[in-house]
Chains A and B, each alone.
Chain A
Amino acid sequence: MQSHEETRKVELIIGQILRIGVITSAIVILIGMGLYFMNGAGYPTVVRNGHSMIDFPQRFSTIFAGIAEGKSYAVIMLGVFLLILTPVLRVVVSIYAFYKEHDTLYVVITSIVLVILMFAMFLGYRS
């Protein structure tokens, strides 16, 4: 068994990683909002299903192309996607935590959760 001190250290590192992940997504969204107030949405308004709305990017290719041109909505979409990834980060670091605790059973259980999660996210991307 490892010392209590070491377990505590692992938990603190994990806390830091999660914090950095969430704050990064928030900062990207805030930068996007800042760009919006300076330059507007960066995309034309279209009429869809009888509602007029801004035609925002939805695929990675258009999002990254939009970011390269400094378009606010593209930056926000990236930030939102990073936010969607934060629970995935949470599962990944949990696997690491259980590994550090030499808890094989929970390394397996949490890895199953990760596989199911990735599978579901992939289904969503394909749809």
Chain B
Amino acid sequence: MNSMLLLLVMGVAAGVLGAILGIGGGMIITPVLTIMMGLDIKYAIGASIISVIATSSGSTIAYLKDDMLNLRVAMFLEIATTVGAIMGALLVGVFSSNFLYVLFGFFLLYSSYNMIRKLFDKKGETVYTETGEIVEKFKLASTYYDKAEQKQIDYSMKNVPGGFIMMWAAGLASGLLGIGSGAFKVIAMDTIMKMPLKPSSATSNLMMGVTAAASATVYFFNGSIRPDIAAPLAIGVLAGATVGARLMQVLKPRVIRMIFIPIILYMGLQMALKGFGVTI
């Protein structure tokens, strides 16, 4: 009973944070389950997959009509990330996972440096509006209403091939290492493609649910998803994510970035150190 309550509360927290940032709750849930509750890592991974899907679907239903997410960008990039995830799952054991942890860890550290620079940029959160050939052809430019700034923001993007490759790499990492890839997805859109942070987060949220569903059946049918853990967690995360999605709309992009930076800094450190054999 107590552990169910703990899972429910943790789920709410993971759901709120995940929906705001466009990341899955794996980084909160896995350590709590393995270290505090002494659970086998296999069940922790199963639980975090459920948490990712619940975050994605919970934030989806916060609104009947979601203008924040860019459905075209999501589906276009989803091809790259699911193909990457399947390749990753098939290639498990071919590459040294230590090398990959170091590589992706350093990438996250570099991204947090980039984001910090953007935070201190005098120009603030600038919006990229120039169009390009690929953006035109795939109709990727869009618009959203920013409730915090109380204005309609038209945005475009650049470096779409770079974002596509990053999404493929994010999928590969999640397939190979069994880690969530929400943070990489947000970085691909925000830092590489220069999309505004809020649509990046909302679009990542949608995408990570689809990517997680692709790998969820493996965990479901091999018994990694335990009903006693998944049930309270899923309910908590669903509730948390509907709140988080609403909260995200009224937060200033700058504030969201300030929450995002320490998280990817921590994730990057954790992954890089894991690659060198140190667990924190």
Contact = CB atoms under 8 A, between A and B. Distances in A.
Contacts, number: 162
Given A87-B57, A113-B79, A116-B86, A127 B225 contact: no
B231 A117 contact: no
A81 B210 CA distance: 14
Contact of A12 (B64, B76, B215, B219): B64
A23 B238 CA distance: 9
A2 B57 CA distance: 29
Interface residue range, chain A: 35 or more
Contact of A121 (B53, B217, B232): B217
Interface in A99-127: 103, 105-106, 109-110, 112-113, 116-117, 119-125, 127
B75 interface: yes
Nearest to A89: B57
A53 interface: yes
Contacts of A105: 138-139
A15, A53, A116, A125, most chain B CB atoms within 10 A: A116
B50 interface: yes
Contacts of B86: 116, 119-120, 123
Contact of B64 (A15, A30, A53, A91): A15
A26 B223 contact: no
Contacts of B65: 8, 11-12, 15
Contacts of B227: 32, 41, 56, 72-73, 76-77, 80
Contacts of B235: 26, 29-30, 33
Interface in B56-75: 56-58, 60-61, 63-66, 71-72, 75
A73 B257 CA distance: 40
A76 B72 contact: no
Q: Which 10 residue pairs are nearest across A and B when measured between Cβ atoms?
A: A124-B217, A15-B64, A124-B218, A120-B214, A76-B227, A87-B213, A87-B209, A86-B57, A121-B217, A84-B216
Given A87-B213, A124-B220, 6 more contacts: A36-B228, A83-B234, A87-B210, A90-B210, A117-B213, A125-B221
20 contacts: A26-B235, A36-B228, A41-B227, A54-B228, A58-B222, A58-B223, A76-B227, A77-B227, A83-B54, A88-B210, A90-B57, A91-B75, A106-B139, A117-B210, A120-B85, A121-B213, A121-B217, A123-B217, A123-B218, A124-B219
Interface of B: 40, 50, 53-54, 56-58, 60-61, 63-66, 71-72, 75-76, 78-79, 82-83, 85-86, 89, 138-139, 206, 209-210, 212-223, 225-228, 230-232, 234-235, 238
